[in-house]
């Protein structure tokens, strides 16, 4: 995983990362507010040596004292000191062990005795009691069997008594919230990375590019939800969606410089990726340029072209394939003065695979390619049925409509591509549907418009319809 992958993960999962971060901060705040406050009081002791008359003696005495301090710090939390304090204050030794600590500030001969307690007054009493007991114990240990503290080479002095604290040292609300934010952010980011690691749904061009290096010939956002709103109507406009289909047409025209693209199969990996809408709009856009187009609805399981274009399907592809009617009598014009005619699916048959794999279907496509400039075939999805793989061998190439909003999974796209590869079908490229195309701004946002609509965007030579 590189930096680009990390940035994509953050952009995709920022909401969940933010929510987990806020949850971490809220949890830290809640725990802090529910926790009992603890007070801390500190007593300070000074370690001194006896009989230092010269500078050399002072230096040696200071070094000697610093060497003794570490031992005195250990004695402060030992059984003799805590046992005496326990008897004096009536507090169990076990409890005192968790409340008392001692430390020596670096490069000093000071000892700080610190005591904590939910009661501020008790914390001060414990700290002072421990300090006093430690002074007495050190004097006793250093004197040995001799009487009088004056003979001890080192002495402890209680230089600062612990005072009753007015504010608790724990819990620290601001610190805990900050830790909660940091912990929540780390947890949220880790969760996002794990979800992306095991999530095979494809969202956007980058995810799809990780599966296949096939060219992306078109990219469309999800503007309409269903029905007629999905079909291009005002071709005189230069909206982003209309221009996106014109761009797809242009890409296909560049692939057809030698006149080899006569028929296009439009399919998808799974249902509901928008293949029928793409096929219909591509046919409309090609016809806009004066190209004679035949659109065939070969999805005999879930035909949709008739409802998208407002046509009848009582007569259609199945009627022609069964020999009950000719192609010329079965096609319907898609609007007045249009270069587009449509062969709807006809009645849904009980044996769609057999019909589409028949010799009659091959003859129909051959005749259609001789009679029209371009034939566009809307086929079933590749995953689950064999129809589109067989049809792909009868056309010039395949456009694979690929949903980029997360409904399609990596393994499904991989399977669809494998099916095309097994029959040696030519894949023209992908059409990304429901993609986040608004993130890449185009010329039209800045007012760069075509002065006049193109008069002819079709093939250089129009063929007469011979249906």
Predicted confidence (pLDDT) per residue in 287-298, tens digit: 988 889 999 999
Reply yes or no on whether the pLDDT at 240 is more than 90: no
> Where does the pLDDT of residue 257 fall: very low under 50, low under 70, confident under 90, or very high at 90 and above?
low
pLDDT tens digits, one per residue of 62-114: 666 777 888 899 999 999 999 999 999 999 999 999 999 999 998 888 999 99
102: which residues sit within 8 A by CB, 6+ positions away? 72, 73, 76, 77, 111, 112, 113, 114, 130, 134
189: which residues sit within 8 A by CB, 6+ positions away? 10, 17
pLDDT tens digits, one per residue of 343-374: 999 999 999 999 999 999 999 999 999 999 99
108 is written with which tokens? 């000093």
pLDDT tens digits, one per residue of 396-413: 999 999 998 888 999 999
- How large is the average pLDDT for residues 110-128? 94
pTM value?
Answer: 0.64
If one counts every other C-beta atom within 10 angstroms of the C-beta of residue 26, the result is: 14
Q: What is the overall mean pLDDT for the chain?
A: 84
How do 293-297 and 374-378 pair as beta strands?
A: parallel
Instruction: Walk me through the domains of the chain, giving residue ranges and CATH numbers.
Output: 3-35+171-198 (no CATH), 39-160 (3.30.70.1130), 202-446 (3.40.50.300)
Q: What is the pLDDT of residue 236?
A: 59
Q: Which residues of 33-67 are buried (b: 16+ CB within 10 A; e: fewer)?
A: eeeeebbbbbbbbebebeebeeeeeeeebeebbee
Q: What is the pLDDT of residue 259?
A: 67
Rounded distance between C-alpha atoms, residue 202 and residue 195, angstroms: 13
pLDDT tens digits, one per residue of 408-449: 999 999 999 999 999 999 999 999 988 775 444 443 443 344
């Amino acid at each position: 995983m590189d930096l680009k992958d990390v940035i994509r993960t953050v952009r995709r999962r920022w909401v969940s990362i933010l929510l987990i971060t806020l949850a971490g901060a809220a949890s830290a705040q809640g725990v802090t507010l529910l926790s009992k406050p603890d007070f801390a009081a500190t007593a300070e002791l000074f370690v001194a040596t006896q009989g230092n008359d010269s500078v050399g003696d002072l230096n040696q005495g200071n070094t000697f004292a610093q060497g003794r301090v570490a031992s005195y710090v250990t004695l402060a939390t030992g059984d003799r000191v805590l046992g005496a304090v326990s008897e004096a204050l009536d507090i169990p030794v076990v409890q005192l062990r968790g409340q008392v600590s001692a430390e020596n500030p670096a490069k000093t001969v000071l000892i700080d005795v610190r005591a904590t307690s939910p009661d501020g007054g008790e914390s001060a009493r414990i700290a002072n009691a421990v300090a006093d007991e430690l002074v007495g114990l050190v004097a006793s240990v250093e004197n040995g069997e001799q009487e009088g503290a004056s003979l001890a080479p080192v002495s402890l002095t209680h230089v600062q008594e612990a005072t009753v604290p007015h504010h608790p040292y724990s819990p620290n609300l601001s610190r805990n919230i900050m830790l909660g934010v940091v912990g929540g952010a780390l947890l949220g980011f880790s969760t996002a990375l794990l979800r992306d690691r095991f999530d095979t749904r494809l969202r956007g061009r980058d995810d799809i590019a990780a599966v296949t290096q096939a060219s992306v010939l078109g990219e469309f956002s999800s503007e309409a939800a269903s029905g007629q709103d999905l079909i291009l109507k005002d071709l005189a406009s230069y909206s982003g969606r209309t221009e996106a289909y014109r761009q797809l047409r242009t890409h296909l025209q560049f692939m057809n410089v030698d006149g080899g693209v006569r028929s296009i199969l439009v399919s998808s990996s799974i249902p509901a990726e928008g293949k029928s809408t793409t096929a219909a709009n591509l046919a409309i856009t090609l016809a806009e340029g004066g190209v004679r187009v035949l659109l065939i609805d070969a999805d005999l399981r879930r035909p949709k072209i008739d409802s998208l274009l407002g046509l009848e399907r009582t007569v259609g592809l199945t009627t022609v394939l069964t020999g009950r009617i000719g192609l010329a009598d079965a096609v319907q014009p898609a609007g007045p003065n249009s270069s587009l005619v449509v062969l709807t699916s006809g009645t849904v048959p009980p044996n769609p695979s057999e019909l589409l794999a028949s010799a009659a279907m091959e003859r129909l496509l051959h005749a259609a390619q001789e009679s029209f400039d371009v034939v566009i075939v809307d086929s079933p999805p590749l995953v689950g049925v064999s129809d589109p793989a067989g049809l792909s061998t009868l056309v010039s190439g395949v456009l694979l409509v690929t949903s980029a909003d997360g409904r399609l999974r990596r393994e499904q796209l991989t399977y669809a591509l494998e099916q095309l590869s097994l029959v040696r079908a030519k894949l023209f490229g992908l059409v990304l549907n429901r993609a986040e195309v608004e993130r890449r701004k185009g010329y039209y946002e800045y007012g760069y418009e075509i002065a006049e609509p193109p008069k002819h965007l079709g093939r250089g030579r129009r063929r007469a319809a011979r249906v």
